[in-house]
């Protein structure tokens, strides 16, 4: 009763076989039982029966387990299961499994694991009722057994049991399959070898018929029923004598027709029997047709013969009369099986004219009508025709029908048969029906037969045919029948009147027809409005269905539109009626798309899209639309909610809105603008009604009629009264009431959209509206709830954009008003926005209102950073958890806003008020932590770059906190990565050389949001220098993050916070960036090396860190080309001597030999290299030689290969030759350039108008021809730096880059200058001399210079030095 639900309890519940009730006696319950007293045997009960239910609480099945109490013994009880007709022994040890309920386990195959798994589920069968019997003592049992022995069964009971058993055995033998096969062989067509086989045919047919109809149809299974019927059909086809016997037998005894054709519940059997009878009758037609209407007596003086004397001379007619006599005696309990019965009679009538004449002669129509009316007598409703309407009105009351409405659908064929017989009785223009048949069809008050079968909705189409047959050449009868139909509709309820409207549709839809058929359309239309007061909804729907396809109905409805439109579209109290009236008006437009659009949408939110209507359809539409506009003058009283409610005008304005298919209709509205305004004010705008649907519909129409129609908008802005009162509109913002929310979602977009249109056309109205408190209220109470009112908020922000829009002709006063509005509105938002506010609102507000420095400062001073963080927190959560939400664009825009605010805060960091606001921002560190989780390969580049930029600003504003907290987080992430042996999975935004692989939906987000700016060597597709575009993509991805790490480390130095965590972080990031050959790490530690104010213990900590050793070793083993960069080279000369003992402990000599072997191997091929290949080889050899010089500076070599120096000299010689070739090419190109310039000057002196194009084109052509040479020159190595392609080093002239870095040692500068003047140096960068063995003096830098550099970490030359 708590949940008001039915539920069957299938949980485990056990019960005992023996039940002791002594503990529930009065003495036991009252505590009077003596302790130690033996249990009383009188209170022991034994289980003798269990009723089990299987299924659910809504349905199921019952069966029982019963104990045999007579033949059971002490050793074993006998139990039986009784399940309907099945009785079998039952093992009592299975009672628990069958009756206790609970769960059961079964084996289920699992396709994933390819194993059979245990699957548990609740049993659906459990005990429902228990039966216990008192256990008697042994003496009582013996006495009872003796009494049972003396009991004698009565003879009647014994005889009944005997007969049941005999019947069971007889049925068992008869329905045995072997017996069926035996009968098939006996009844099979006789062999031709028999003497006179024709004489045996009747006997065989009779045997087959009797067996099938008496035995076979009663069998449960009838697999060969169709074969037996085919056998009977063949036998009757070849034996007329058998046909006569079959029909004559059924004419004498109606057992077979009743039992098979009417009472048999199996439809297939009834259909087979019907087909068999229809097959037999035509076999005898040639012989018996003349006897059909033959009478066995003479007619009387009037020529009348009683139907009982007709058709007695033929077995066919006697059989048909027997069938008709069956329904005369009443077969109501089996009426649902009469389909085949009347199908047999109908098929018989259609055989020929003789058969129809016979049925008419025996008055079959009267028999069937009386049968039908007899079954309906209990619920007959008397309906008077027009001729009887003059009587007392009290007699017109409708008798209520019984609740159990009777729908004899099986009588459809009966109506079809009667309609067919009526039409067959026509001779010329007259019906030759008997008086009885005609009277039963059209006699009585209100045509009871026609009324009743229409009321029952048996077969309306055949009823129409029957009416057509009766009313041909009888217009008066047609009027009376139509009057009966309308009277019935007026007296019956809506549901009961549906069949009558259906019949009216069929009568009207008839086009053409046989001669003499009256035109029902005028008869029906002239009475239609009479019943509209009783069933207006059905009448309007009926007209809407027929006006598109019936020209008479269309003309009649359109001509009388003014007589009914006001009553049904405006005045009627029923909303369904008003809606039906609107659809009727739509149906008048002869265009199917126009009608279907209204029926499919039924929406007032959007007008019908522009359609290409025909001229006729457009004319009708404008006529209807003009009538609707005229109604605006009289619609004002219906806007009074206190009298007519709040939805009286919804259908009216919805229809007006739907008719707006082009600007023509919008311009037609202009003369009626005042009428619309009079409806709106004051009845709709002022009353404090939360959900006024009239206002909703009006505003939607008003918005769309003004949209894209400046003329209608001008009517608003040019009217002082309208512009004064239009902004005042009662709005209730109850965000918990769903009805109010849904109403505002529909009404407010149209209202604010209308205001937007006015503001776009009138600047004065815009300034006036911006000062309205209603708009400030809307901004405050509606825009924070963008999830509930998405379109409303969109329109309000459009208004806000118009309020702050500045144009060229904007005056100073307007500029001040705009400034005041922005300040007031922004201040309001910063006060009212909460954590629950939608992030889209915050983004839109800042995008529109925050534009300059003052706006940013206002945001900072009013806790705007907290509001921005709340929005970011929500978007961050949506971005990582709701993969179906596309919030990337919102996230980028929000981060851009935050970045601009922080930049402004950083530029005003000396302002005390700003400092206090920044200190009060409590979520700053949490914000930074969440920004770090956006730094991974699953985040788009736009989001990642914005996050790094914001982190940079945070680091500048909060240096100590960021170094401490963010540095710890990043150190932990990189340290964890180094501990793993495998690289972390990469996301879709990780740089790829080839096209990006396809990622599934599960791969577009990381398992959890975390920092993953890691690089493993196995993730690189090729080494640096092989693919410039790929190298640039890697730099674009990793360089901003490394620059941020550089800034964090320098900030730590400046703040005297260079802890072990920061030192290790720098080394970890540098180790991962070895394949990228970045220089920030070398620059940073060179700066530390030469700065006098920094504690040098940090360098000792760095040199003792094993990751730094791995960094050194990784560069020497895998990235020796890094030494071509003077910054990295000088860094190694500073720090390698400090750690070389921990580097290459086991690979020192093997590395030296490998590098030397590589140089020697190039000796033979150096002469065959092309310039590009030569540049690449020289670039690599230069790095190898620098690595050897570095290693030899700390540990001189013991012995080198004797061919090493000659090989090196040969390579040097080839490089000099290439340098000379390049110098010659450059000189030739310079000569060509001078010649081109002189040619241009000469052309300019001749014709000034032509020189603007021709020389430039020639110059471009010559430059294009020289491009291959330039390419060869610029591609001296794969890592050349150009304006378009950013690389890490200068591949040909390393000396030129040294001047860009102040932290390069003097020794490195001296080395460079000596190599430039040495003959042994080449333009390819290969150097054979080095002064690495000299001491490296340290330049002294102040700490302030370090800070100066840290303020702009990503400088102009960042990519060059990296």
1147 SS3 class? coil
Return the pLDDT at 1265.
42
Query: CA-to-CA distance for 704 and 603, rounded, in angstroms?
Result: 13
The pLDDT tens digits of the residues spanning 1299-1344 come to 333 333 333 333 333 333 333 333 333 333 333 333 333 333 344 4
C-alpha pair distances (Å), 1314 with each of 391, 634, 1291, 1295, 1307: 136, 104, 19, 10, 10
Q: Which residue has the tokens 């004219």?
A: 353
Phi, psi at residue 67, to the nearest 5°?
A: -85, 135
Which spans in 9-132 are helix H?
A: 26-30, 95-99
Judged on CB neighbours under 10 Å (0-12, 13-18, 19+), 401 is middle
The closest of 259, 421, 433 to 355, measured between CA atoms, is 421
Q: Which residues contact 300 (CB under 8 A, 6 or more apart)?
A: none
Q: Which residue has the tokens 């009074």?
A: 640
| Helix axes 536-546 and 498-509, enclosed angle (nearest 10) | 20
Query: CA-to-CA distance for 387 and 385, rounded, in angstroms?
Result: 5
C-alpha pair distances (Å), 1286 with each of 792, 974, 1047, 1086, 1283: 49, 27, 21, 23, 7
Which residues in the chain come in under a pLDDT of 70?
1-4, 33-40, 72-75, 107, 109-116, 138-151, 189-198, 299-303, 330-335, 375-409, 600-610, 882-885, 981-983, 996-1007, 1244-1362
Cβ 578 vs Cβ 651: under 8 Å: yes
Compute how many other C-beta atoms are within 10 angstroms of the C-beta atom of residue 922: 12
The closest of 863, 1308, 881, 854 to 1124, measured between CA atoms, is 1308
Query: CA-to-CA distance for 454 and 630, rounded, in angstroms?
Result: 42
Query: CA-to-CA distance for 783 and 790, rounded, in angstroms?
Result: 9
Cβ 20 vs Cβ 133: under 8 Å: no
Query: CA-to-CA distance for 703 and 707, rounded, in angstroms?
Result: 6
Cβ 39 vs Cβ 23: under 8 Å: no
Phi, psi at residue 311, to the nearest 5°?
A: 80, 20
Query: CA-to-CA distance for 131 and 250, rounded, in angstroms?
Result: 54
DSSP conformation class of 571: I
End-to-end CA separation in angstroms for the chain: 78
Query: CA-to-CA distance for 1353 and 1040, rounded, in angstroms?
Result: 10
DSSP conformation class of 456: T
The closest of 1262, 1261, 1325, 1260 to 1291, measured between CA atoms, is 1325
Compute how many other C-beta atoms are within 10 angstroms of the C-beta atom of residue 770: 22
C-alpha pair distances (Å), 1218 with each of 290, 1158, 1175, 1179, 1274: 127, 21, 10, 14, 14
The closest of 150, 173, 153, 132 to 50, measured between CA atoms, is 132
The closest of 1015, 1044, 994 to 937, measured between CA atoms, is 1015
C-alpha pair distances (Å), 970 with each of 660, 764, 1350: 62, 56, 19
Compute how many other C-beta atoms are within 10 angstroms of the C-beta atom of residue 884: 6
The closest of 563, 503, 550 to 522, measured between CA atoms, is 550
C-alpha pair distances (Å), 871 with each of 801, 864, 952: 21, 11, 20
Cβ 267 vs Cβ 260: under 8 Å: no
Q: How many helices (H) and strands (E) does the chain have?
A: 62, 10
Query: CA-to-CA distance for 1043 and 1053, rounded, in angstroms?
Result: 15
Q: Is the previous residue joined to 682 through a cis bond, with omega within 30 degrees of 0?
A: yes
The closest of 956, 969, 972, 910 to 1051, measured between CA atoms, is 956
Total length of the chain: 1362
Element (H, E) at 518: none
Return the pLDDT at 244.
92
Return the pLDDT at 69.
81
Alpha-carbon dihedral angle through residues 130, 131, 137, 143, given to the nearest 10 degrees: -160
Beta bridge partners of 405: none
Beta bridge partners of 164: none
Phi-psi group of 645: left, alpha or beta (phi > 0 → left; psi -120 to 50 → alpha; rest → beta) = left
The pLDDT tens digits of the residues spanning 778-806 come to 999 999 898 899 999 999 999 999 999 99
Q: Which residues contact 862 (CB under 8 A, 6 or more apart)?
A: 826, 827, 830, 831
Return the pLDDT at 332.
63
Give the angle 170-171-177 at the CA atoms, nearest 5°.
110
Query: CA-to-CA distance for 201 and 239, rounded, in angstroms?
Result: 7
- DSSP for 1255-1284? HHHHHHHHHHHHHHHHHHHHTSSTT---SS
Cβ 413 vs Cβ 343: under 8 Å: yes
Return the pLDDT at 1354.
34
Query: CA-to-CA distance for 727 and 707, rounded, in angstroms?
Result: 18
Alpha-carbon dihedral sign for residues 905, 907, 909, 911: negative
Query: CA-to-CA distance for 466 and 447, rounded, in angstroms?
Result: 13
Judged on CB neighbours under 10 Å (0-12, 13-18, 19+), 227 is exposed
Alpha-carbon dihedral sign for residues 419, 423, 425, 429: positive
């Amino acid at each position: 009763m708590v949940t008001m639900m039915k539920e069957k309890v299938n949980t485990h519940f056990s019960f005992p076989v023996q039940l002791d009730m002594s503990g529930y006696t009065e003495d036991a319950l009252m505590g009077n039982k003596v302790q130690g007293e033996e249990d009383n045997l009188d209170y022991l009960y034994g289980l003798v029966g269990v009723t089990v239910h299987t299924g659910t609480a809504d349905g199921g099945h019952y069966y029982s387990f019963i104990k045999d109490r007579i033949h059971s013994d002490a050793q074993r009880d006998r139990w039986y299961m009784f399940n309907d007709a099945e009785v079998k022994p039952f093992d009592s040890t299975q009672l628990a499994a069958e009756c206790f309920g609970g769960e059961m386990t079964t084996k289920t195959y699992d396709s994933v694991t390819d194993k059979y798994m245990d699957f548990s589920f609740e049993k659906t069968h459990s005990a429902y009722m228990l039966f216990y019997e008192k256990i008697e003592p042994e003496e009582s049992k013996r006495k009872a057994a003796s009494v049972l022995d003396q009991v004698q069964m009565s003879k009647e009971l014994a005889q009944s049991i005997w007969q049941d058993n005999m019947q069971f055995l007889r049925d068992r033998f008869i329905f045995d399959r072997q017996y069926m096969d035996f009968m098939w062989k006996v009844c099979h067509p006789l062999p031709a070898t028999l003497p006179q086989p024709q004489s045996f045919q009747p006997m065989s047919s009779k045997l087959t018929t009797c067996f099938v109809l008496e035995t076979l149809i009663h069998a449960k299974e009838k697999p060969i029923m169709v074969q037996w019927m085919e056998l009977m059909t063949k036998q009757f086809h070849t034996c007329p004598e058998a046909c006569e016997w079959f029909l004559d037998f059924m004419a004498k005894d109606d057992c077979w027709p009743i039992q098979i054709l009417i009472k048999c519940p199996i439809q297939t059997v009834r259909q087979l029997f019907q087909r068999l009878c229809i097959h037999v009758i035509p076999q005898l037609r040639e012989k018996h047709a003349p006897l059909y209407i033959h009478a066995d007596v003479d007619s009387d003086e009037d020529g009348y013969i009683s139907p009982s004397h007709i058709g007695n001379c033929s077995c066919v007619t006697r059989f048909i009369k027997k069938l008709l006599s069956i329904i005369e005696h009443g077969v109501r309990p089996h009426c649902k099986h009469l389909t085949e019965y009347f199908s047999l009679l109908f098929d018989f009538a259609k055989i020929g004219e003789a058969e129809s004449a016979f049925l008419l002669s025996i008055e079959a129509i009267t028999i069937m009508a009386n049968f039908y009316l007899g079954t309906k007598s209990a619920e007959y409703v008397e309906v008077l025709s027009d001729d009887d309407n003059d009587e007392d009105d009290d007699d017109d009351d409708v008798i209520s029908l019984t609740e159990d409405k009777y729908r004899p659908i099986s009588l459809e064929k009966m109506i079809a048969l009667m309609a067919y017989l009526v039409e067959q009785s026509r001779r010329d223009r007259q019906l030759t029906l008997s008086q009885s048949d005609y009277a039963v069809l059209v006699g009585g008050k209100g045509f009871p037969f026609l009324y009743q079968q229409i009321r029952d909705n048996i077969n309306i189409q055949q009823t129409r045919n029957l009416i057509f047959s009766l009313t041909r050449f009888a217009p008066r009868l047609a009027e009376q029948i139509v009057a009966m139909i309308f009277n019935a509709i007026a007296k019956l309820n809506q549901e009961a009147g549906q069949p009558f409207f259906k019949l009216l549709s069929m009568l009207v839809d008839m086009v053409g027809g046989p001669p003499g058929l009256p035109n029902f359309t005028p008869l029906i239309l002239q009475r239609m409005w009479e019943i509209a007061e009783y069933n207006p909804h059905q009448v309007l729907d009926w007209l809407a269905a027929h006006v598109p396809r019936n020209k008479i109905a269309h003309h009649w409805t359109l001509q009388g539109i003014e007589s009914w439109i006001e009553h049904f579209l405006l005045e009627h109290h029923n909303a369904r009626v008003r809606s039906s009236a609107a659809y009727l008006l739509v149906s008048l437009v002869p265009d199917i798309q126009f009608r279907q659009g209204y029926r499919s949408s039924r929406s007032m939110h959007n007008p019908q899209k522009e359609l290409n209507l025909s001229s006729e359809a457009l004319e009708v539409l404008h006529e209807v639309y003009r009538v609707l506009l005229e109604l605006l003058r009289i619609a004002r009283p219906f806007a009074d909610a206190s009298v007519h409610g709040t939805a009286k005008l919804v259908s009216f304005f919805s229809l007006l809105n739907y008719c707006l298919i082009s600007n023509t209709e919008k311009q037609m509205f202009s003369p009626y603008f005042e009428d619309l305004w009079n409806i709106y004010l004051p009845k709709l705008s002022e009353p404090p009604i939360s959900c006024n649907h009239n206002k909703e519909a009006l505003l939607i129409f008003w918005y769309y009629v003004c949209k894209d129609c400046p003329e209608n908008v001008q009517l608003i802005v040019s009217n002082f009264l309208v512009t004064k009162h239009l902004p005042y509109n009662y709005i209730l913002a109850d965000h918990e009431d769903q009805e109010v929310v849904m109403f505002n979602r529909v009404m407010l977009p149209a209202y604010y959209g209308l205001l937007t249109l006015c503001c776009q056309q009138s600047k004065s109205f815009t300034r006036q509206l911006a000062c309205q408190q209603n708009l400030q209220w809307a901004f405050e109470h509606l825009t924070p709830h963008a999830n509930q009112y998405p379109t409303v908020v969109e329109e309000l922000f459009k208004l806000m954009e118009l309020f702050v829009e500045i144009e060229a002709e904007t005056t100073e006063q307007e500029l001040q008003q705009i400034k005041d509005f922005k300040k007031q509105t922004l201040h309001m938002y910063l006060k009212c926005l909460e954590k629950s506010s939608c992030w889209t609102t915050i983004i839109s507000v800042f995008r529109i209102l925050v534009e300059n420095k003052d706006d940013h400062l206002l945001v900072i001073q009013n806790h705007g950073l907290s509001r921005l963080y709340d929005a970011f927190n929500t978007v961050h959560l949506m971005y990582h958890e709701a993969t179906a939400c596309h919030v990337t664009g919102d996230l980028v825009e929000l981060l851009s806003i935050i970045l601009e605010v922080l930049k402004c805060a950083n530029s005003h960091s000396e302002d005390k008020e700003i400092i206090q606001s920044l200190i009060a921002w409590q979520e700053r560190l949490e914000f930074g932590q969440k920004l770090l989780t956006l730094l991974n390969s699953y985040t788009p580049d736009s989001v990642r770059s914005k996050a790094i930029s914001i982190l940079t600003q945070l680091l500048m504003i909060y240096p100590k906190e960021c170094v401490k907290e963010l540095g710890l987080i990043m150190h932990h992430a990189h340290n964890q990565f180094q501990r793993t042996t495998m690289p972390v999975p990469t996301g879709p935004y990780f740089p790829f050389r080839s096209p990006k692989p396809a990622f599934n939906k599960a791969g577009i987000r990381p398992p959890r949001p975390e920092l993953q700016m890691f690089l493993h060597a196995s993730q690189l597709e090729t080494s640096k220098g092989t693919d410039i575009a790929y190298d640039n993509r890697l730099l674009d991805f990793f360089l901003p993050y490394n620059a941020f790490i550089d800034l964090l480390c320098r900030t730590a130095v400046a703040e005297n916070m260079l802890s072990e965590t920061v030192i290790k972080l720098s080394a970890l990031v540098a180790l991962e960036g070895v394949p990228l050959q970045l220089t920030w790490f070398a620059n940073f530690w060179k700066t530390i090396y030469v700065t006098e104010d920094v504690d040098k213990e940090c360098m000792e900590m760095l040199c003792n860190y094993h990751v730094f050793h791995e960094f050194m070793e990784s560069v020497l083993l895998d990235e020796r080309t890094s030494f071509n960069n003077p910054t990295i080279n000088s860094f190694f000369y500073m720090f390698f001597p400090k750690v070389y003992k921990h580097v290459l402990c086991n690979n020192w000599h093997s590395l030296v030999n490998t590098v030397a072997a590589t140089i020697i191997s190039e000796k033979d091929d150096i002469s065959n290299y092309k310039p590009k290949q030569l540049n690449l080889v020289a670039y690599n050899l230069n790095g190898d030689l620098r690595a050897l010089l570095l290693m030899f500076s700390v540990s001189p070599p013991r012995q080198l290969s004797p061919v090493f120096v000659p090989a090196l000299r040969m390579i040097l010689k080839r490089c000099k030759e290439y340098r000379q070739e390049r110098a010659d090419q450059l000189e030739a190109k310079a000569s060509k350039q001078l010649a081109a310039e002189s040619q241009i000057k000469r052309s300019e002196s001749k014709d000034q108008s032509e020189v603007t194009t021709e020389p430039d084109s020639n110059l471009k052509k010559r430059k294009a021809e020289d491009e291959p040479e330039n390419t060869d020159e610029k591609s001296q190595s794969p890592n050349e730096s150009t304006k378009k392609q950013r690389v890490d080093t200068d591949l040909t002239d390393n000396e030129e880059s040294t001047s860009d870095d102040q932290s390069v040692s003097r020794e490195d500068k001296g080395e460079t200058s000596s190599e430039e003047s040495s003959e042994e140096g080449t333009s390819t960068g290969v150097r054979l001399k080095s002064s690495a063995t000299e001491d490296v003096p340290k330049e002294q830098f102040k700490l302030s210079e370090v800070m100066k550099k840290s303020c702009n970490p990503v400088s102009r030359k960042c990519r060059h030095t990296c």
